[in-house]
Amino acid sequence: MATTRAALRAWVGEILGDMKSLTATAVGTTTTFIDLKNNAVLTDSLTGRIIYFTGPVNNLGLERRVTANTESTGTLTFAAVTTAPALADTAELWNDRNTGVIPSTQVHNFINRAIAAVERLFLTEVSAEYSFKSTTPAFALAQSTWIGVVQGAEWKDGASVWHHIPSADVRVDRANRTVELRNTPRDLADGRTVRLRGYTAAGALTSDTAETSVNAEYVATQAAAWLLAATWHKRSDARDAKQHAADLKAEAFSLRPAASLTPIANTVMLA
C-alpha cells in the first residue's frame, strides 16, 4: 500500500512527540490561524514554533514561524500566507520541543534519505514499450527509470497480439545499460512495438501528495531516528532523547526486511 509524504511526516511527528495537528475553529486572516481547541495555551508560549499548512490548496506546503499566540482566542500569528485560513482548514504545528525541527527541510529530507537507503532493496515493477527497428536493435535504458530488467521481452503483431521473446534472444549489457534483440525475434519484431519489463528504484517524494510503496513504518521510524539523533542535544531530556534515538535506529534496522522486494530470477540488475 502506498503512503503519502504527508502521512509519513505526520507519523514522524507522532513518534517524536514534536508535532500537533491543527484544525481551524474560526476564520483567520493571512497572518493568523485560529484553533481554540489546540492553541488555547499560555500567551506567547508558542512563539518560535513552526506552522506548516496542509490546506487549503493555495497555502499547501507553506511554512511560517509563529511570532505570537493568544490564549483566549487560540490564535497563532505569523508572516502572511497566500490565503486566509477558513473554518476547518488544517495545519501542523512543529518544533514543539524548540529544537529547531523544520518540516519542509529536515523532516522531508530525512524521509527521502530513508527511502534512498533501501532503493535497491525495494523495487517497483515497471514496463515500457518501444518502436523497434531491426537496423537499430538496442534500446537504451534511462538511469532515472530502470534499475533492473527482466531478460526476455515481447513484441506485438499487426493483430495486436503479444508474442514472447525468449531470454536467449535478448542481450542485456549491464555496463552500457542497453537491451538488444537478436536472432529471429529481431526480424519478426521489425517495425513493431516491443515491450520490456523490469524494475525501478523507489524515488524521492517531492510533494505532500506524492506516494511511496516502501514500508511506511520503516520510513517513518528511520526518519525519526535520524532527526532525533541530530537534535537530542538541544532537548531538556537530552540523555533520554539520545537513548530514544538509538532505540529508533535499531527498530528501523529491524524493519528493513519489510522494505525489501526480491526481483524474479531472470532479472539483470544494471550498473
Query: What's the pLDDT at 208?
Result: 95
Separation of alpha carbons 52 and 4, rounded Å? 16
DSSP secondary structure letter of residue 104 = I
pLDDT, tens digit (0-9, with 9 covering 90-100), for 218-252? 999 999 999 999 999 998 899 999 999 999 999 99
Measured from the Cβ of residue 252, the count of other Cβ atoms closer than 10 Å reads 22
Residue 137, helix vs strand vs coil: coil
Residue pair 134/186 in contact (Cβ under 8 Å)? The answer is: yes
Residue 109, helix vs strand vs coil: helix
Residue 163 pLDDT more than 80? yes
Q: Count Cα neighbours of 58 within 13 Å in the Cβ-side half-sphere.
A: 8
pLDDT, tens digit (0-9, with 9 covering 90-100), for 116-129? 998 877 777 888 89
pTM value > 0.75:
yes
4-14 in b/e form (b: 16+ CB < 10 A) is: bbbebbbbbbe
Residue 259 pLDDT more than 90? no
Compute the mean pLDDT over every residue in the chain, rounded to the nearest whole number.
92
Query: What's the pLDDT at 264?
Result: 67
Instruction: Name the grid cell of 155.
Output: 513484441
Q: Who contacts 250 (Cβ-Cβ below 8 Å, separation ≥6)?
A: none
